[in-house]
Amino acid sequence: MPRGATLGGMSAGIRVLARVIGFFGLGTLAVLHAVWASGSPWPARNPRRLAEAVVGQRMTLPPAAPTAVVALGSAAAAIASAGGWGHGRIVRGGMRALGSVLLLRAALGGRAALALLGMPRPRERFLHLDRRWYRPAAAVLGVSLWLSAGRR
């Protein structure tokens, strides 16, 4: 494709960049959740510190099975973002739906996300990490999924 050519009104370079960001971002989430499902608190020092960082409370982490489901879902979304599941309407719709959820998560913030999940009010460490890392990451991944979901 010639330089500056577009795919459905979007430059091919932007779409490729969005797919790379989606693949590596969601792939990283998948790996982290797989590590946590195995019982490791990495990169935290112990499970209580990890729970404080990711769910806002010093408590036990969610069980391994739901954490593994998040790992598998993130891996599947990473593959979809890279085009590994094809470009059919169902795949594109799924990517847009997940992208919308991530954008909503970014807009509402961690306090609202935890409240929707029925979790207690988060501690300040979580809120700091949410402002600095989690919300921006959710926004970038949400946009990357929407851009990746465009027609070929």
User: One-letter amino acid identity for 73?
Assistant: G
- State the amino acid at position 19 in one-letter form: R
Helix (H, G, I), strand (E, B) or coil at 6: strand
> What whole-number distance in Å separates Cα of residue 30 and Cα of residue 86?
20
Using 50, 70 and 90 to split pLDDT, how confident is the model at 6?
low
Which one, of 150, 151, 145, lies nearest residue 19 by Cα?
A: 145
Alpha-carbon distance of 35 to 29, in angstroms, equals: 10
pTM confidence score: 0.88
Q: Which pLDDT tens digit goes with each residue over 29-41? A: 999 999 999 999 9
Per-residue pLDDT of 58-87, as tens digits, reads 877 788 999 999 999 999 999 999 999 998
| CB-based contacts of 152, cutoff 8 Å, min separation 6 | 7, 8, 87
What is residue 1's predicted lDDT score, i.e. its pLDDT? 45
